[in-house]
Amino acid sequence: MTRHRQQVGGCTYEFDGLVDVLAKATPARSGDQLAGCAAGSDAERAAAQWVLADLPLAVFLEELVVPYEDDEITRLIVDTHERAAFAPISHLTVGGLRDHLLSVAASPDAGTRLAALAPGLTPEMVAAVSKIMRNQDLIAVGRAARVTSAFRTTIGGTGRLATRLQPNHPTDDPRGIAAAILDGLLLGCGDAVIGINPVTDSPRATAELLHLVDDIRTRFAIPTQSCVLSHVTTTLGLVEGGAPVDLVFQSIAGTQAANHGFGVTLALLAEARDAARSLRRGTVGEDVMYFETGQGSALSAHSHLGTDGAPVDQQTLEARAYAIARAFDPLLVNTVVGFIGPEYLYDGKQIVRAGLEDHFCGKLLGLPMGVDVCYTNHAEADQDDMDTLLTLLAAAGTAFVITVPGADDVMLGYQSLSFHDALYARRTFGLRPAPEFEEWLRALGMLDEHGGLREIDPAGSPLRELAR
């Protein structure tokens, strides 16, 4: 472990190795303060960022944040790192990588060049460079990185903004869920997935919800995919039992210990992916995995410790979760950025910054990255903050966002985006739904000649049966 020293404003600051530098260089957030690894002042943070900017990228291949022998995520990162893709930037420092990324983002072939670079980047490198970037930098590079995935719709295309239609209900009432689905469809939402968080994880209840959504999807020939966000083992059993499973969902985190708390391993995820693919339910692709992450998940499970027992900052651990996701070619990945609570992201400023970081890191690592633009009611945040983050993410080219009726999830008890918020983002930035879903909307007469959504009476539309 190398000790680092930096002088700022007449004071000298010392940092105990890479883990400490990464933590102290992170923009302020309550989770790192809770973990005891945050910078004690803006001056110390600036000193750490200075040290970080001068670190060679090769250091991240030599000094591991979480020990190789203790953690299967670290082994995945190291063993799958592509040296050939890394070679063109192997001479750079973290600061040099920032300059390189901004230069590439301004080039006409930025998407191709960033895609070629992705296998050569480790999550720790990407997290490190994000810590010395302004919000504007994160947006510029995030927008330039283009990643697509496909199942029944194609996610992540240029000029597209997809949405997850989240029709949660506090008792899993089929009528309430169907009403929310209708509401979302009439407002052009649901092209990424119709995804339900079930009240219980029982196989029977999960199967009933899967059949409910699949019946609606097939009856109205909706080109989308469904998902009931049960545990991966529940979904695996339902695949084996013949249920209409489109996507396999699982929450993941950046350490083996945290994933153990979720009850998952890399081997289990591989088994579930292969089982879902064997059903061959996709029409334009076979990307069947759906992952959710969130800064603070490892800390909340006390599974955030790295080399020599030092606490690893929550944003670096979040980026490590993306290494798991990209190993399984997911259709969808999203951070539920403000869901875990103010203990980890205290206010609107921290939530906005974290959302941009997560989107940037996911896209740069080659993921079809989306964001649940959200907060809990005891956070120092409000819907104006969510408007700001949504607008910035739309500018940054996010693949999808999550939408719920009225922006208020009555089952999970948190605030997200409404269906109308997605319309605002599409109209403001000239974005369109996934191409297959767009054609379906057009065939229903729901789009005008400019691609904008028409207001229609549900009782007079082909969806009238669902309205009843």
Write the pLDDT tens digit of every residue in 158-206.
999 999 999 999 999 999 999 999 999 999 999 999 999 999 989 999 9
* pLDDT on residue 283: 98
CA distance linking residue 1 with residue 7, whole number of Å: 20
Q: Where are the beta strands (DSSP E) in 52-124?
A: none
Is the model's pLDDT at 458 over the cut of 90? no
* pLDDT on residue 3: 85
* pLDDT on residue 10: 81
Cα distances (angstroms) measured from residue 49 to each of 52, 103, 349, 394, 461: 5, 21, 19, 28, 57
Write the pLDDT tens digit of every residue in 374-411.
999 999 999 999 999 999 999 999 999 999 999 999 99
Write the pLDDT tens digit of every residue in 222-269.
999 999 999 999 999 999 999 999 999 999 999 999 999 999 999 999
- Containing 357, the helix (H) or strand (E) segment is helix 348-364
* pLDDT on residue 7: 79
* pLDDT on residue 453: 83
**Predicted TM-score of the model (pTM):** 0.96
Q: Which two tokens stand for residue 54?
A: 């001068």
pLDDT band for 1, please (50, 70, 90 cuts). low
Q: Which two tokens stand for residue 90?
A: 């192997």
pLDDT band for 456, please (50, 70, 90 cuts). low
* pLDDT on residue 457: 66
Average pLDDT over residues 143-147: 97
* pLDDT on residue 139: 98
Cα distances (angstroms) measured from residue 204 to each of 211, 234, 412, 450, 465: 11, 10, 21, 44, 26
Write the pLDDT tens digit of every residue in 91-115.
999 999 999 999 999 999 999 999 9
